Amino acid sequence: MRNTEQSVRVTVTRNGPYVVAGRVRLSELTIATDAAGVSEEWIGRDHPAGKAAIALCRCGHSRNKPFCDGSHARVGFDGTEVASRTPYLEQAQAFDGPALALLDVEKLCAFARFCDANGQVWNEVAQTADPEMRETFTRQVQDCPSGRLVAWDKARQAAIEPDVEPSIGFIEDPAEGCSGPIWLRGGIAVISADGAAYELRQRVTLCRCGSSENKPFCDGTHAAIKFQAK
């Protein structure tokens, strides 16, 4: 959703890994929860960046996760891409508030659950005339890794997104007892195996369990199957 050209890109290979071109920060990102088990914050730990070009597992079977070790060929991985290429704004359902709206494309959900705190963001948006609630609402929406949820400034007709450097995170979800998707932040281009570019967005999650029905994007299946990357 930002038009800034980036030197980092991720290419989906046919029935194979994601190939990352360009040097980019890698990190492990853990969902930390409060005493009630509600997602509260992200805890990050740097991961060795490695080479300028790396291949990341997307079949879920590599013994060297998050990197590819060729297991996709051994298991006969079907990585057929089925995700819609319709622009986000044309897919989104809008929930209206005083100055902000909440945009939602449910099929992009990566099940990180930051949306559930404080009575859920779908209810909070109606209270965003209050500065404190507006700040809380915006933070929760921006913590949604997949970009399913977007805080929309109605006056500017623009998304409210943090200005962050491109980075790639590997999500861990101890509360659900599983590993989550690959989180692309900062407007990293995603190129399909057929050479077409997906819409450039600030937050995207790519499937790495191999079982999403919205490939190459995550649909939350990792939580249902208790995918383990470690």
pLDDT at 3: 38
**Which of 2-11, 21-30, 120-129 bottoms out in mean pLDDT, i.e. has the lowest?**
2-11
pLDDT at 157: 97
> 41 φ, ψ to 5°?
-160, 165
Residue 158 forms beta bridges with which residues?
Answer: 153
Q: State what percent of residues in the chain have pLDDT above 70.
A: 96
Q: State what percent of residues in the chain have pLDDT above 90.
A: 92
pLDDT at 4: 40
Tell me the CB-side half-sphere exposure of residue 112, using CA atoms within 13 A.
Answer: 33
Tell me the CB-side half-sphere exposure of residue 114, using CA atoms within 13 A.
Answer: 25
Which residue bears the tokens 């969902």?
A: 31
Closest CA relative to residue 160, chosen from 152, 169, 170: 152
114 vs 5, which has greater pLDDT? Answer: 114
pLDDT at 49: 60
23 vs 134, which has greater pLDDT? Answer: 134
Mean pLDDT score of the chain, rounded to an integer? 95
In tens, the pLDDT along 155-200 reads 999 999 999 999 999 999 999 999 999 999 999 999 999 999 999 9
Closest CA relative to residue 30, chosen from 215, 223, 180, 187: 180
pLDDT at 66: 96
Q: Are strands 167-173 and 25-33 parallel, antiparallel or unpaired?
A: parallel
What is the rounded distance in angstroms from the CA atom of residue 123 to the CA atom of residue 100?
A: 12
How confident is the model over 3-12, as a mean pLDDT? 75
How confident is the model over 65-90, as a mean pLDDT? 97
Closest CA relative to residue 25, chosen from 9, 46, 39, 11: 46
What pTM, to 2 d.p., does this model score? 0.95
Neighbours of 132 (CB within 10 A): 9
How confident is the model over 87-113, as a mean pLDDT? 98
In tens, the pLDDT along 27-62 reads 999 999 999 899 999 999 998 765 667 999 999 999
In tens, the pLDDT along 109-124 reads 999 999 999 999 999 9
